[in-house]
Amino acid sequence: MTTKTASDDKPNSVYNRPVVINICNGMTNIPVTHNISNDSINQLKNRSYDIIVDIGCGDGSLTKLLANQLAHNQLIGIDCVTDMISYARKHNSLMIDDKHDNNNRIIEYVVQDMSVDWPAMCPRIRQLESRVDLIFSNYALQYIPDKQKLMQIFDRLLATGAIN
């Protein structure tokens, strides 16, 4: 699923085309799903992003890959499992190269259940309202039962406030 705004006059500017990417093809036991994810990430490399959010980041391996491959200012991994976030903070917090002059930027990880209503979101997530350029998710959105509520949350997070 790729979702973006209609604004398309400046393809490389920040805030121009917020995007939601969800990868899920039913495959299991793929180490960090890099083969599937690299294809999706390659499609996103043509621009820079102010804020990227990885929903259901798990252990942070793919979040770190995103950090190293996409030009950005902030990258925030979100997962509802505290142990996964703890592992991600310990093992996948720093970028490993300087491709985008973001050398040694720390990836921020936040524990948050994305199935709750907006007022129940933690303050850090609510601070991102209307500021996120890219929402990325790999094998996670299918676990959130109320997709309409989730899309409303994405709508609030995306920079333009609209999902088309």
Look at the chain and report how many structural domains it folds into.
Answer: 1
Kindly state the percentage of the chain with pLDDT values over 90.
48
In a domain, 29, yes or no: no
Query: For 70-129, what is each residue's pLDDT tens digit?
Result: 899 999 999 999 999 999 999 998 755 545 454 456 799 999 999 999 999 999 999 999
Would residue 85 count as lying in a domain?
A: yes
pLDDT at 141 over 50: yes
Whether residue 162 lies inside any domain: the answer is no
Please determine, for residue 42, whether its predicted confidence score (pLDDT) is greater than 90: no
27 found inside a domain = no
CATH classification at residue 118: 3.40.50.150
DSSP one-letter string for 18-74: -EEEEE--S--S-GGGHHHHHHHHHHTTTSEEEEEEEET-TTSHHHHHHHHHSEEEE
Q: What local confidence, expressed as pLDDT, does residue 43 receive?
A: 81
Give 24's pLDDT tier (boundaries 50, 70, 90). Answer: very low
Q: Which domain holds residue 39?
A: 2-22+34-157
